[in-house]
Chains A and B, each alone.
Chain A
């Protein structure tokens, strides 16, 4: 019982991490939450970086899944902004434009990973695990 309870607590703490998805593409905002909830996370979605910055989740998010190319503030710009505000929330970039140089550049600037759309569930889960471990 003792062991079980501890495991359960550990489980709860992991499974209930809050993941924020920021993407201007509606299909991503619709499809990703189901997948992430299936992984056991809580999910919030935002259509723009500005929307996210204005929300409360900026303080409570455990991980960001962030589109690079968005109207208004881009993903990398949000990354810089959060860094300036002292928010160290782990970021997993996603992009529809496959460009390894950009990916490496972003990782070099502190991102957990940069996934090219379409990405596999495994690649996403792997990146998320690293992100939540990194906290």
Chain B
């Protein structure tokens, strides 16, 4: 197993093993090994698995199917734990199991459900299918402080609040009836005697048929939440009022993000009724490009409880989108659980770059409003209160005397008093005023929150002579603050720390308030500032515009919004962004203007500088040979190089801002955008890959690289990035990864041996099969070159090839013998293949070792048999060929080339064969070509070849036509040169003709019959014609014409008869035969050779028993052969109808007593009765008129002339034996010269 792979398996959070197809385990991962104990031996599967699982494992292996089961596995310490084990077969290309894998998961814990139930920090009740309470967990028992039996009778046990009881019962009944999950909230009586609210959520547990088996009811104590909610509900009413009065949008949501409040401003902005925007409907007004990001962010906040601070565009009622800052904080109950979210949306469209200032302005505005004094007081320098506004006294229900001095502290809430006192003491001690908040008891006993704000009055010497202060009722705000707890606190922090300039003007533009920061900036007093129009506060260049815009807003009531330069105390002018909103009374009249001035000077300058440098930069960038881009700190794309635009084939307008996202491959977009958001948030440099669409629609991989540009303060002012085309590198990487993956798969599943080599050739890995073959560890196999594993005869050539390959980095392939663990060398084909990385460097060599020993042997065997075949073909004059129908060339053996006289260098084609064929045989050739289209055709034919020297060759072709492995028709066969035998045959036919002719003159007696036949034919004609003629003439109306015809034919047939006689006479003129010395065996073998074709056609099995020491006989060789032939043919004919037994024929020659030689033919034909034995020779006559029809009677007469004897006897079994015997040749015997000697010869021998 590959080391990396096993490391991966080891790191899996579960137990993994793998086994061979036969079920033997060959790998356990770390977890399993540890569980089973280090000592466990893999191969002892029964011990590893335990008896029970081992039996089941065997069944799994036998089935070859994936299975899943629970079983107990023994741990190293002897304990058993329950596991869910999944067995899965890995199949090879043939669908056979190549390997088993198993994954075991500890499920012991899930067994102890009750334990878990009791550990859940919530009450759990189990209900029967009918709604009966079956059992409860400890949690519930503890809560009620009653026995489980009592709790089970809950409906009558007074533990559910009477107001809620009917509802609970109805809910459960409904759930039981419908089988649906249910949810209730009701009060339960605790052991302490108090009711608490519980949220009960019950789910049905169903059996496999879907029938409800049980109900599980989860009881969650929601009492605090419920109370908090109730309290909140009350506060909300006030809050809403306040919020709607605020010059900003506000909203609140439930903990799950469901919007349950939207301020009037919000609804007015969006132009939506609450019904439409409430809940989640508000999402519709979010800019589509921002929506995904915003929702994801919002979900994250809901989950984490972190404050919301995000920007997104919202659609105004008129369809225009404006940027808003979304800010929200969760409100938490005492336990820290979120009960609500409160948020605001701040319009930052016009000053998106200056959102910090905007926030500050909002806060300042609020502060101003809040600090408008209502009740006032004064104290002596030591804090002794000498004056309290009468309203204060009215409020607290105190007399001046009661409140004087420190008496007022009695009205302070005890919890707040220490803090307030501390603060006050510190103020007195330092002389620095500090606001404080504390609750003051109203006359009716209710506490309300107040802001305490004081400032010291000093004399010329700077000594404090008095403190003056106000108390502002901030109860309402405080409530809101409580509701918005976290949010407020945070905002306040911002308010207190962010420098912003605020001024308040009356409806006619008279200055009412200027905050400290503003005064500090101007270095003016409020009085001095009142002349701002004339005293140079506003830059002369901006003054006119400033005054006009100011006046215009005062007249129209439109908000102020312009930029202007204001003089700082040191005389320098700085750019400010001025924004002012009118506050109106209920009648809609403007009562006051609140203005916020944001210092945008640095930014303006920076912007200008940047703008300038950008022009040059852009020029440079567009000439760079790479794409480049720049974005604002929030990711808004402000620049894209021409190259980028050209690549994507989009215009700047299309791609600017966030439009570039469209060219990102959809599969990569989500990942890229969230990565980009993260970078924007963290300021970390961008280094990510994604596909971008080219102008032609194809996607290419790009590396996105970007760095933030920071100002002196380290704030990001811009992002600059480039996209680098890495498509080619990526492809190479992909290919590499793919090849690596593929290789690994092969290594693990291939039924061969795999070795891995480092680039320098060192063996550094091998698969299991390889190590098993050598039965040696990798460390030993490493030294393959020296430890005798490679056969000594092959070693050098292997090392040479291997070294060459390592040096040239070319793949190698070599065959070599490797010693198996049992000492046998087997042949292997070793193929080495380098794996390259993207840069073309070899990172690994794969060596595949294929056992080719059997193949090698088979090859040798084949080579030997091939050599035999070649010899056999040459010796027998037989060549072979094969032709795939329709293909160009015919594959021919060397002998075939020789037979056809083809040039061995030339490929043989069908046309070439045809050109060699004798023109007479073209039809045969064409027939063969036609028939070869039929599958399963057999061919056996002879054809003549016309050789290039004009000589004639006879060849016999035997072929068969069938489908080859590829399913194509292939004609395979053999060609044999039969010219020699064919010529012999022709010579023999000629001899046969001679023989026949000679036979015809052999016996007058026999010829008589022939003559009679020949003559009787015309005689029959004569008689018939004459008879017909008579009849015709005898008729009443003689048909003379026909009669004359018959008479004419009579004459003609008469002449014909005469011709026959003449021909017969001619026969006698031929030469007589001579008695010679004849080797009968040779003569017989010649006849057999001639008749081979007949014998085969008759499907007769021929046996010969020719005596070795047979003496020569005296006779006419041709006549004797004629007789042999005749007997042989009769025997074949006699067996032609035999189908129920073998057609055997025995030809025998033997020496006989009395200087005779006997020849016999034993057939297994139809035979004849004993009585017919003699008449056979007389009556029988061949009905065949093929020129050889001499018959047994002629044969007998021939044998007679040889002083021999011819006879036939029926066999014991089926068939007949026909024999003749003739005398042995005696040298001094005077040769017989003609038939006339016959009688004399016979007399001699007798």
The chain B residue with its CB closest to the CB of A102 is: B1179
Chain B binding surface SS class:
helix
Smallest CB gap from A34: residue in B:
B1028
Q: Contacting chain A: which of B439-447, B1042-1050, B1145-1153? A: B1042-1050
A79 CA to B717 CA in the complex, in Å? 123
**Chain B residues near A12 (CB-CB < 8 A):** none
Contact B1023 A118 (CB under 8 A): yes
Query: Contacts of B896 on A, CB cut-off 8 Å?
Result: none
The reply on A132 being an interface residue by CB < 8 A is no
Within 8 A of A (CB), among B300-321: none
Q: Which residues of B contact A116 (CB under 8 A)?
A: 1016
Q: B1020 contacts A69, CB within 8 Å?
A: no
Contact in complex: A28, B1021 (CB < 8 Å): yes
Chain B residues within 8 Å of chain A by Cβ, number: 33
Inter-subunit contact A27/B1017 (CB<8 Å): yes
Contacts of A31 on B, CB cut-off 8 Å?
Answer: 1020-1021, 1024-1025, 1028, 1046, 1049, 1053
CB within 8 Å for A117 and B1179 given contacts A31-B1025, A34-B1025: no
Query: Are B1017 and A96 in contact, CB atoms less than 8 angstroms apart?
Result: yes
CB distance from B926 to the nearest CB of A (A): 28
Q: When A28-B1024, A34-B1025 are in contact, do A121 and B1031 touch as well, CB less than 8 Å?
A: yes
Q: Does A120 contact B (CB under 8 A)?
A: yes
A contacts with B, residue count (CB < 8 A): 29
- Contact between B1028 and A25 (Cβ–Cβ < 8 Å)? no
Q: How far is the CB of A38 from the nearest CB of chain B, in Å?
A: 4
Does B1175 lie within 8 Å of A101, measured CB to CB?
yes
Any B CB within 8 A of the CB of A94: yes
Q: A27-B1018, A96-B1013, A97-B1012 are in contact. Are A38 and B1031 (CB under 8 A)?
A: yes
Smallest CB separation, A71 vs chain B (Å): 5
Report the Cα distance A121→B1030, complex, angstroms: 10
Asked if B1028 and A27 make an inter-chain contact with CB atoms under 8 angstroms apart, the answer reads: no
Residues of A within 8 A of B591 (CB): none
Q: Which residue of B lies closest to A105 (CB)?
A: B1179
Per-residue interface assignment for chain A, residues 91 to 107, with 1 indicating a CB less than 8 Å from any chain B CB and 0 otherwise: 00010111101100000
Per the bound structure, the CA–CA distance linking A28 and B1056 in Å amounts to 13
A99 to B1191, CA, bound (A): 15
Q: Is A11 an interface residue (CB 8 A)?
A: no
The answer to the question of B393 belonging to the interface, with a C-beta cut-off of 8 Å to chain A, is no
What number of residue pairs across chains A and B have CB atoms under 8 A from each other?
Answer: 95
Give A69's nearest chain B residue, CB to CB: B1183
| B1183: contacting residue among A27, A74, A98, A118, CB under 8 A | A74
Q: Whose C-beta in chain B lies nearest to the C-beta of A94?
A: B1020
| Chain B residues with CB under 8 A of A7 | none
Check B1023 against A119 for contact (C-beta < 8 Å).
yes
With contact pairs A74-B1183, A102-B1179 given, residues A35 and B1028 touching in the complex (Cβ less than 8 Å)? yes
Residue B1032 at the A interface, CB < 8 A?
yes
Alpha-carbon gap, A97 to B1181, bound state (A): 10
Chain B hits for A30, CB < 8 A: 1021, 1025, 1049
User: In residues 64-88 of chain A, which contact B (Cβ within 8 Å)?
Assistant: 68-69, 71, 74, 76
Please tell me if the beta carbons of B1012 and A96 are within 8 angstroms of each other in the complex.
yes
Residue from B1009, B1021, B1181 whose CB has the most chain A CB atoms within 10 Å:
B1021
Closest CB of chain A to B1006's CB: distance in Å? 12
Nearest-CB residue, chain B, relative to A115: B1020
Report chain B residues within 8 Å CB of A124. Answer: 1027
Q: Which residues of A contact B1042 (CB under 8 A)?
A: 34
Which residues of A20-66 have CB atoms within 8 Å of chain B's CB atoms?
25, 27-28, 30-32, 34-35, 38-39
Q: How many Å lie between the Cα of A25 and that of B702 in the bound state?
A: 104
Instruction: List CB contacts (< 8 Å) of B982-1038 with chain A.
Output: 1009, 1012-1025, 1027-1028, 1030-1032, 1035
Task: With A96-B1012, A121-B1027 as known contacts, state yes or no: A71 contacts B1020, CB within 8 Å.
Answer: no
**How many angstroms from the CA of A120 to the CA of B1022 in the assembled complex?**
11
Please state if A25 and B1024 are interface contacts (CB–CB under 8 Å).
no
Q: Are B1020 and A27 in contact (CB under 8 A)?
A: yes
CA A76 to CA B1021, docked complex, whole Å:
22
> Which partner residue on chain B sits nearest A24 by CB separation?
B1185
Asked if A119 meets B1183 with Cβ closer than 8 Å, knowing A27-B1056, A97-B1013, A98-B1012, the reply is no
Q: Say yes or no: A25 contacts B1021, CB within 8 Å.
A: yes
Q: Is the CB of A32 within 8 A of B1024?
A: yes
Q: List the B side residues contacting A101 at CB < 8 Å.
A: 1175, 1179
Task: Flag B1046-1067 by CB within 8 Å of A: 1 or 0 each.
Answer: 1001001100100000000000
Indicate if the CB atoms of B1020 and A119 lie closer than 8 Å: yes
**Residues from chain B with Cβ under 8 Å of A98 in the complex:** 1012, 1016
Q: CA separation between A28 and B1181, bound complex, in Å?
A: 22
Cβ–Cβ < 8 Å partners of B1014 in chain A: 96
With a cutoff of 8 Å between Cβ atoms, the chain A residues found around residue B1018 in the complex are 27
Contact of A25 among B1017, B1027, B1175, B1181 (CB under 8 A): B1017
Residues of B within 8 A of A (CB): 1009, 1012-1025, 1027-1028, 1030-1032, 1035, 1042, 1045-1046, 1049, 1052-1053, 1056, 1175, 1179, 1181, 1183, 1185
Could you list 13 A-B pairs, sorted by A, with CB under 8 Å? A27-B1021, A27-B1049, A28-B1024, A30-B1021, A30-B1049, A34-B1045, A34-B1046, A35-B1025, A101-B1175, A118-B1016, A118-B1021, A120-B1023, A121-B1030
Task: Identify the 10 closest CB pairs spanning chains A and B, nearest first.
Answer: A27-B1021, A117-B1020, A121-B1027, A118-B1023, A96-B1016, A31-B1024, A38-B1031, A35-B1028, A34-B1028, A118-B1019
Beyond known contacts A25-B1017, A38-B1035: 6 more, CB 8 A cutoff: A30-B1025, A31-B1024, A31-B1053, A101-B1179, A117-B1023, A121-B1031
